[in-house]
Structure 1
């Protein structure tokens, strides 16, 4: 109901955090030597509040930049303004930041902080209504979603898949694109070690040109669930269509932004699995719209996420609200900024199913005390 979703932001609090990790997280395009996050808390005049998260993995200096952007470039657009719901605010911010993003050549950061504000606004209105976010979005949403373990380097995959299996997962995504000639054989070995009902996926993180990707897909094990971003996300349609005619379904979407971008991807039909990132573009408003559009087109919505605990919870709630057969991405690498908010242990995942809390909103009340030691920047206005 509009009156339940209406709000007026009176305060913004932002934290940039960085947690050191013993083992860096490697991708085909670079290495994360710590785990960053940007957490946002908004408050309205009645004291109601909501939490959001902005993408901060890249570039290396991204977390502090996004935190400052939220206060210095976004506060004037939201503080003291009344909205009839989060979706109205989201659309207004997309329009209001267009010229700012063009002026500095940084559309990504503006999309990411807009996403954080949208997540926080939805958390606020769901919390105020006393509903888990998924049920504020879709009253019949089940508070459980299928999940898969990700972030697994191909060279460590045998032991990491065993660890993920012990944690309750039955599907696993392996990062490739480091040594293409040897990697198809490594995937064959991993596939042969799967137990009944388990699934294997791969992610190249945009590593290859179309010819290299085509050769890899032809050599990949039969039954590989998907190959994610085998070529750059901005590759021409003909290259995506060429790979889509091959033996392995394609996945992507974390590096697509805007409804027009997703309209094009869905219309092209090369991607069987759509993977928008709730903290990169769209927040709840945009990603739920993409999810429903993908499902209507016969595709599968599988939210991408590789950040802190707030964004992971938001991804789970959007997936639950959308329904379908999608999978929640859960990074298996150590990350205190995730674990303090939604730890992987304690029965969170059982039989490949992630259980959502019945607490209102996202279920996050305060920034956990153990995370304060990782804070590199705090901003507060309002």
Structure 2
């Protein structure tokens, strides 16, 4: 029998970029924030999870450190479903407080990590998953707005590192977007897969870009509109010019079910640190598979999220793309937090280490990366 949870806690950690990433549709982010969730078991096992910060990571941590205590503490480490159901009934369906989805996500991930460690098994195996090995595409904060020449140079560098696919940002004008995509396709050839991301919307007729992307053979156009405009997704998807992708801002399998069934998206992209955790992402994966929709999860900041993402993919038997963070420096991926997913030769893999297989240096995190309040995204004036 799984050990009992005797403690639950959360805190925000922040890393300021030495050089801020190039601008994308939502601006240029100031820093990496994440909410570290910790569960302690009676047998001494410690599990960790990553909850998405949103625009107020301290608020998410507060939910974990207060209200969620009575939901989680005292349960067994394998009672993820009970935690999910109580959270939904009390705080999501009744009160509609979105911060609880982020909190639940981090808690669910931490519980799977703790349960796996306590059982001496990797979480993906406890979930009955296939071997966690998938092709990787370069995503994250890379490839923001730039000239076609600079983009081609960036893509060539990624190709040299073994990537055969990457995500290009669009949204700073039709001519600039079209020129970047066409230059990338011409320079990299048909063998290199191109994804595009508008980051919640374009300031021009989206169907024009969809035509260009279709001609370039792009895998998808991600978030051409804000999530409140599902009807616009449906109308654009009906043109069948390019597959549409979304999901990092869609919360819960119930909502995904509506998006998938309506034909609004052809690529489902839940983020395990936002959607409700590993188990909820798996639900989305099964819905997607049942409707012939691709399941390509979105990633957040740390090795915890990345390992949980590939765990969810393995659990549904997905061999589609894993979104890799190819940035040269990310201390939350290969320093104070490390392990989990290995990306090499254009593929992402998880090993057989118990839980998520991720090491967390809490002492250094507290000393070197104290959390900041407020939003990491500055206001964008349009």
Counterpart of 1:144 in structure 2 is 133
Cα 1:76–1:8, aligned 2, differ >3 Å: closer, same or farther? same
Matching of residues 1-382 of structure 1 within 5 Å: 3=1, 6-25=2-21, 26-56=23-53, 58-59=54-55, 62-82=56-76, 85-98=79-92, 101-102=95-96, 107-139=97-129, 141-150=130-139, 151=141, 152-155=143-146, 156-195=150-189, 197-208=191-202, 212-220=205-213, 221-237=215-231, 239-333=233-327, 334-340=329-335, 341-342=337-338, 348-367=342-361, 370-372=364-366, 373-376=368-371
Give CA-to-partner distance per residue, 1:193-238, whole Å, 9 cap, x none.
21563201100011226x6111111233421111001111221435
Alignment partners' CA distance in 1, 2:191 and 2:121: 34
8 A contact 1:203–1:227 mirrored in 2: yes
TM-score, structure 2 normalization: 0.87
Q: Distance in 1 between matches of 2:281 and 2:266?
A: 16
The count of aligned residue pairs is: 362
Q: CA RMSD in A?
A: 2.4
When normalised by structure 1's length, the TM-score is 0.87
Q: Distance in 2 between matches of 1:126 and 1:178?
A: 45
- In the alignment, structure 2 segments of 5+ residues that lack a partner are 373-382
Name whichever of 313-322 and 365-374 sits farther off. 365-374
Please state how far the C-alpha of 1:83 moved relative to its aligned partner: 6.9
Structure 2 counterpart of 1:380 = none
Deviates more, 1:224-233 or 1:6-15: 6-15
1:37 and 1:337 in contact (8 A); partners too? no
- Which secondary structure does the structure 2 equivalent of 1:22 belong to? coil
Partners of 1:12 and 1:343 lie apart in 2 by 23
Q: Distance in 2 between matches of 1:242 and 1:27?
A: 22
Distance change >3 Å, CA 343–CA 99, structure 1 → 2: closer
Q: Tell me: CA distance 1:296–1:99, structure 2 relative to 1, closer, same or farther (3 Å).
A: closer
In 1: Cα distance, 2:121 partner to 2:111 partner: 14
Contact kept in structure 2, 1:177 and 1:204, CA below 8 Å: yes
SS of corresponding position for 1:164: helix
| Stretches of structure 1 lacking an aligned partner (at least 5 in a row) | 378-382
Deviation of residue 354 (structure 1)?
Answer: 0.7
Are the counterparts in 1 of residues 161 and 345 from structure 2 also a CA contact under 8 Å? no
- For the structure 1 residues 82 and 318, does the alpha-carbon distance in structure 2 shift closer, same or farther, using more than 3 Å as the test? closer
Q: What is the Cα deviation at residue 115 of structure 1?
A: 0.7
Compare 237-246 and 67-76 and name the one that shifted more: 237-246
